[in-house]
């Protein structure tokens, strides 16, 4: 009995394979290199894998690509650079992918992206915000806006609201992301003529910031700018208010600090906390509402901006594939991706600029009652 | 066939390179372990080798070979500098001191921005390391380890490993032998760091921390510290494991941990002792030897 069921299954699978071959489908392999294990990188990696796989499912179901069927091949690099390179090599040479989405960490990108550039396979990152990513070559794109793209908008808003003359900065010294955010903040503050009266540092995983914040309080700045990830930022915001830095001193954060965890950890103290982002969950557009609903339905949780950016990456590929007329020539595909213009995406209309960076309108978000809302002027 | 080989190499060359690189470091540790030195300095040595060689190629414009040599030499010097005071410490204290060295190196790399790029690291490093460089390096190190074992020096080391007090009383200069081995270990790990830096376009302070030191220690221990091929087997096994287990997705880390624990539990002599299980001749010879020793002792 068991055997006959098995045989039946086998023949069914065989028939399916036949029928799909008969339909003359062209399979397009898409490499998804995201860390789903290995510490904090997995937080970002899982979100992006989910976003990308959701988009692939939707596109295949919609039939908008005709005979082309997208196949997502996810590989976990565990946030380890050596593994990212291993995976890139295999995806490019063995799986013959048309495009690679990822990798999760900028340090992995610096090691692995040159291989794709050399092989002429386009790469679209959706979480690398470090400077220099797209400088690696003309096949390297990203949908994650770098800090330098969103922060000027945040500062412009804060200038209107707080009219600051002085600022204090605090940032993580041992992390690529936090440190490059600091440099961007510093440059923007200086170019706006705001005087930096105190600069303090911390290390990843620190929990007590009272020493640094006491010094900052003594300097009495008009605004406080934090270059940190979600957890550190939340602690700093909470402790700053506890130490008596008044609400009239606005607190600004980095793009990477946006997380649902922030409100949880910082509580009421986070009210008024201001950041810039390419996407946020309440962004009001039919496309975004559909994305959020579909994501919730499939994964039973809310997407974050990394999931949203990975989702957009897949739609960019699908759109470019259509315009390039297939994936037989990856140079053509690359050119089509580079020419992406005013694509209807979940964060408004999406284009790539000349440096293959995302050109989306940055949104200034303010924390209110535990939720990020669009800043009202 | 030829096309197949080309494709295989294109798909897996980085894995092969990593296996060789880790083997090289494993032999560096093997030398230290052969005189009972549980060194956690590997991360620090590799960082010195990496940053020094990158400085040589990218800032000073030296060619690759002298840059690697400079990196290795700097790490060897550091090994000598910390070895002199620290090698007088025993067991746990030695381990702690070498751990401190690795941490200090990492923190210096984090803060010396003009040379190391700080937390952001150095990118766009030219890729000079070729597979044959690594093969050559491993071959040379294996040859040296092999010759050493058969020399007077090797016998003295073996005596130190058994019991350093007895070795000392037999006229072996324990300190000098350990120092020499530790410096050699530093040299090899420094060269490994230099080769690693020119393999993947990028280095950062996070690459050479405690995790690196512990990994390096696992290679020879897993493979077997008594057999010459032990470090090679251990390094290849540990490097391939995450790739081979890739199919298991979320279970991967659990499986890796379980396998390592299983080896430690059931093959306490390292993976190489599996050969002995399969090789009755070797076991018989050993039993005979043990019996003879017993006789001689009684």
| Tokens found for residue B9 | 């190499």
The answer to whether A231 touches A172, Cβ cutoff 8 Å, is no
**pLDDT at residue A311, rounded to an integer:** 96
Among the partner-chain residues A80, A86, A178, the one whose CB lies closest to the CB of B14 is A86
% of chain A residues with pLDDT over 70: 93
B254 has pLDDT over 60? yes
Instruction: Please tell me the predicted confidence (pLDDT) of residue B4.
Output: 85
Residue A120 has what pLDDT? 95
Which pLDDT band, with edges at 50, 70 and 90, does B285 fall under? low
Which of B113, B116, B211, B246 to substitute to test the interface with A, most A CBs within 10 Å?
B246
Per-residue pLDDT, B22 = 95
| % of residues, chain A, pLDDT over 90 | 59
Of all residues in chain B, the one with the smallest CA distance to A136 is B124
Q: Which alpha helices (H) appear in A163-247, and where do they start and end?
A: 176-191, 210-219, 230-242
Please check whether residue A250 is in contact with residue A270, taking contact to mean a CB–CB distance below 8 angstroms.
no
Mean pLDDT score of chain A: 88
Q: How far, in Å, CA of A321 to CA of B148, rounded? A: 61
Query: Model confidence over A253-281: pLDDT tens digits?
Result: 998 888 777 888 888 898 889 999 888 88
Same-fold call for A27-145+284-359 versus A147-277: yes
Residue B297's pLDDT band (cuts 50, 70, 90):
low
d(CA B66, CA B57): 9
> What ipTM score was computed for the predicted complex, to two decimals?
0.78
- Measured distance CA(B235)–CA(B215) in Å, rounded: 9
CA distance B106 to A166: 34
* Nearest CB to A107; choose among B18, B121, B243: B121
What chain B holds in terms of domains, given with CATH numbers, is 2-266 (1.10.3470)
Q: Do B204 and A107 touch (CB under 8 A)?
A: yes
Domain range A27-145+284-359, CATH class: alpha beta
Q: Give the pairing type, strands A250-252 and A223-227.
A: parallel
> What's the rounded Cα separation, in Å, for the pair B208 and B203?
9
pLDDT attached to residue A167: 95
The answer to whether A337 touches A320, Cβ cutoff 8 Å, is yes
User: Distance, in angstroms, between A168 CA and closest chain B CA?
Assistant: 21
Which tokens in the block code for residue B58? 């990218």
Mean pLDDT for all residues in chain B: 87
Whether the predicted pLDDT of A1 surpasses 50:
no
Cα separation values, B171 from A230, B156, B160, B162, B168, Å: 61, 9, 11, 15, 5
List of residues 6+ apart from A38 with CB closer than 8 A? A76, A77, A78, A79, A80, B253
| Chain B interface test: which of A37, A81, A110 (most B C-beta within 10 Å) | A110
Over residues A234-246, the mean pLDDT reads 93
DSSP per-residue codes, B99-160: HHHHHHHHHHHHH-HHHH-GGG-EE-------HHHHHHHHHHHHHHHHHHHHSHHHHHHHHH
Q: Does B12 touch chain A (CB under 8 A)?
A: yes
pLDDT of B104 higher than 50: yes
Name A364's bridge partners.
A276
* Domain limits, chain A: 27-145+284-359, 147-277
| pLDDT band at residue B246 using 50, 70 and 90 as cut-offs | confident
Residue with tokens 């230099």: B194
CB contact under 8 A, A85 and B200: yes
Average of pLDDT values for B262-289? 65
According to the model, what pLDDT value does residue A4 have? 52
Question: What would the pLDDT profile of A19-72 be if each residue is shown by its tens digit?
Answer: 444 457 889 999 999 998 877 788 889 999 999 999 999 999 998 898 999 999
Return the closest-CA partner of residue B48 out of B79, B90, B84.
B79
- Token pair recorded at residue A377: 């002027």
Domain A147-277 CATH superfamily: Response regulator (3.40.50.2300)
Report the largest interatomic distance among the alpha carbons of chain A, rounded to a whole angstrom.
82
Residue B248 confidence class, pLDDT cut points 50, 70, 90: confident
Confidence band, pLDDT 50/70/90 cuts, at residue A18: very low
Would you tell me which residues 71-100 of chain A have a C-beta closer than 8 angstroms to some C-beta of chain B? Answer: 75-76, 78, 80-83, 85-86, 89-90, 92-94
DSSP A35-91: -SSSTTHHHHHHHHHHHHHHHHHHHHHHTTTTTEEEEEEEE--TT-HHHHHHHHHHH
């Amino acid at each position: 009995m068991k055997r006959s069921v098995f045989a039946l299954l086998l023949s069914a699978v065989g028939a399916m394979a036949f029928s799909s071959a008969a339909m003359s489908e062209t399979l397009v392999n898409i490499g998804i290199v995201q860390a789903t294990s290995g510490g904090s990188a997995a937080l970002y990696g899982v979100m992006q894998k989910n976003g990308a796989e959701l988009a692939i499912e939707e596109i295949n179901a919609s039939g908008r690509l005709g005979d082309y069927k997208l196949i997502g091949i996810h590989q976990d690099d565990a946030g380890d650079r050596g593994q990212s390179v291993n995976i890139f090599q295999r995806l490019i040479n063995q799986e013959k992918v048309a495009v690679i989405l990822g990798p999760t960490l900028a340090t992995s990108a610096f090691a692995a992206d040159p291989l794709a550039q050399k092989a002429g396979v386009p790469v679209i990152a959706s979480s690398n915000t470090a400077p220099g990513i797209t400088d690696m070559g003309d096949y390297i794109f990203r949908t994650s806006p770098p800090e330098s793209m969103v922060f000027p908008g945040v500062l412009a808003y804060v200038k209107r609201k707080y009219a600051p003359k002085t600022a204090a900065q605090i940032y993580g010294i041992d992390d690529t992301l936090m440190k490059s955010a600091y440099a961007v903040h510093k440059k923007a503050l200086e170019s706006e003529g705001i005087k930096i009266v105190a600069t303090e540092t911390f290390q990843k995983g620190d929990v007590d910031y009272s020493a640094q914040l006491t010094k900052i309080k003594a300097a009495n700045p008009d605004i406080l700018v934090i270059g940190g990830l979600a957890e550190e930022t939340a602690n700093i915001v909470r402790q700053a208010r506890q130490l008596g830095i008044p609400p009239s001193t606005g607190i600004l954060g980095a793009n990477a600090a946006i997380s649902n965890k922030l409100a949880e950890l910082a509580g009421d103290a986070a009210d008024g906390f201001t950041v810039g982002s390419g996407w946020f969950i309440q962004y009001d557009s039919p496309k975004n509402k559909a994305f959020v609903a579909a994501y919730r339905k499939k994964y039973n949780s809310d997407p974050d901006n990394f999931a949203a950016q990975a989702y957009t990456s897949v739609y960019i590929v699908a759109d470019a594939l259509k315009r390039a007329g297939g994936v037989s020539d990856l140079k053509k595909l690359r050119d089509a991706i580079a020419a992406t213009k005013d694509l209807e995406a979940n964060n408004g209309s999406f284009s790539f600029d000349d440096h293959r960076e995302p050109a989306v309108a940055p949104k200034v978000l303010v924390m209110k009652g535990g939720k990020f809302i669009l800043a009202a002027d | 066939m030829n096309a197949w080989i080309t494709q295989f190499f294109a798909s897996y060359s980085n894995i092969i390179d990593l296996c060789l690189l880790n083997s090289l470091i494993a032999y560096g540790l093997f030398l230290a372990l052969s005189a009972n030195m549980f060194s956690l300095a590997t991360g620090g040595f590799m960082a010195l080798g990496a940053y020094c060689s990158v400085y040589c190629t990218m800032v000073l414009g030296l060619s690759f070979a002298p840059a690697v040599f400079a990196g290795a030499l700097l790490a060897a010097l550091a090994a000598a500098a910390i070895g002199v005071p620290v090698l007088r410490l025993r067991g746990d204290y030695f381990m702690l001191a070498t751990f401190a060295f690795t941490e200090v190196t990492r923190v210096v790399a984090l803060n010396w921005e003009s040379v190391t790029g700080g937390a952001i690291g150095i990118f766009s490093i030219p890729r000079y390391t070729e597979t044959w460089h690594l093969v050559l390096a491993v071959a040379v190190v294996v040859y040296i380890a092999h010759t050493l074992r058969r020399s007077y020096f090797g016998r003295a080391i073996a005596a130190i490993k058994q019991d350093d007090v007895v070795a000392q009383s037999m006229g072996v200069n324990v300190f000098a032998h350990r120092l020499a081995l530790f410096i050699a270990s530093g040299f090899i790990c420094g060269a490994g760091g230099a080769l690693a830096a020119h393999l993947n376009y990028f280095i950062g302070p996070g690459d050479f921390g405690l995790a690196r030191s512990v990994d390096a220690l696992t290679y020879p221990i897993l493979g077997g510290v008594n057999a010459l091929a032990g470090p090679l087997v251990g390094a290849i096994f540990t490097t391939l494991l995450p790739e081979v287990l890739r199919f298991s997705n979320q279970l991967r880390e659990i499986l890796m941990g379980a396998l390592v624990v299983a080896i430690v539990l059931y093959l306490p002599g390292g993976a190489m002792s599996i050969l002995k299980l399969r090789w009755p001749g070797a076991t018989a010879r050993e039993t005979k030897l043990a019996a003879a020793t017993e006789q001689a002792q009684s």
